[in-house]
Amino acid sequence: MGVDKFYRYDGRVQTLNCDLRRYVFQDFNTLQSQQVYAGTNEGFNEVWWFYPSANSNTTDRYVVYNYLENVWHYGTMGRSAWLDSGLLPLPIATTYNNYIVNHEDGVDDNETGTAVAINAYISSSEFDIDDGHNFGYVWRVLPDLTFSGSSAAPNGSQPQVTLTLYPMQNSGSGVGNAETKAVTLSTAYNITEEYTGQVYTRVRGRQLIFEIESNQLGTTWQLGAPRIDIRKDGRR
């Protein structure tokens, strides 16, 4: 991690392409840059950088690079030190509240000893059909998820994620009325899972954003390749 770029070394120093470069370096406290540090998460083929955001004097953000899949992601989390697994079975880190915490252990946030649901989400960039010449109308989504590793919440409810489609009338315009639907696990077997098989929607836009999120205790999920039924719906 440099002044305004990421780098890799394979016999020579080269710039590392980063989809999140602007997000990271436009919200970065350069006066506290000496606090930046990196660590590995070998079990998931990742390199983590912890850094202070513009309004923080301590490390409160992270950005992660998966070097096998060439994928980046980011988040908010304060960690003062990091040690990868090796001598220990799990990565460990220290917090500014004087806790030593295990990472990659369980599906909830137990940093303070009380389980708190993790607000997890993944969001696409804007997508369109016919290079945006036509509006698209989404009438159905076929989810592709696994809830493997989840457990029922304390209130007895089954693991669930929320699927949201955000329409945009034009590039650069704000999102219109979003439509949100729930996808819920119904039955889990050793090999297969049953969950909401199809979600009916009525969303129209020149561009669309697809997002899946969860904020429920005991819930973990992986997203596969969901299918979206979309058709042309005019140019205005």
Per-residue model confidence as pLDDT tens digits over 194-224: 677 888 888 888 888 889 999 889 888 888 8
Looking at residue 187, what is its pLDDT? 52
- In the predicted structure, residue 183 carries a pLDDT above the cut 90: no
Contact 108, 117 (CB under 8 A): yes
Looking at residue 191, what is its pLDDT? 42
Could you tell me the pLDDT band of residue 155, with boundaries at 50, 70 and 90? low
Per the rule left: phi > 0, alpha: psi between -120 and 50, beta: everything else, 45 is left
Instruction: Measure the CA–CA gap between 192 and 222, rounded to whole angstroms.
Output: 14
Looking at residue 186, what is its pLDDT? 61
Of 215, 233, 209, nearest in space to 161 by CA: 215
Positive or negative, the CA dihedral 15, 20, 26, 27 is negative
Strand order in the sheet with 46-51: 37-41, 46-51, 61-66, 71-76
Contact 181, 166 (CB under 8 A): no
Contact 78, 35 (CB under 8 A): no
- In the predicted structure, residue 9 carries a pLDDT above the cut 60: yes
Name the burial class of residue 59, with classes exposed (0-12), middle (13-18) and buried (19+) by CB atoms within 10 angstroms of its CB: buried
Looking at residue 190, what is its pLDDT? 42
In angstroms, the first-to-last Cα distance of the chain is: 45
Looking at residue 12, what is its pLDDT? 93
- In the predicted structure, residue 85 carries a pLDDT above the cut 80: yes
Mean pLDDT computed over every residue of the chain: 87
- In the predicted structure, residue 193 carries a pLDDT above the cut 70: no
Structural domains of the chain sorted by starting position, each given as residue range(s) with its CATH number in brackets: 6-105 (no CATH), 121-232 (2.60.120)
- The residue ranking higher by pLDDT, 156 or 135, is 135
Positive or negative, the CA dihedral 81, 84, 88, 93 is positive
- In the predicted structure, residue 169 carries a pLDDT above the cut 60: yes
- In the predicted structure, residue 92 carries a pLDDT above the cut 90: yes
Helices and strands (DSSP H and E) totals, the chain: 1, 19
Radius of gyration of the chain (CA): 21
Looking at residue 114, what is its pLDDT? 86
Cα 234 to Cα 134, 167, 178, 228: the distances in Å are 5, 15, 20, 18
Of 117, 208, 219, 85, nearest in space to 158 by CA: 219
Looking at residue 180, what is its pLDDT? 77
Could you tell me the pLDDT band of residue 185, with boundaries at 50, 70 and 90? low
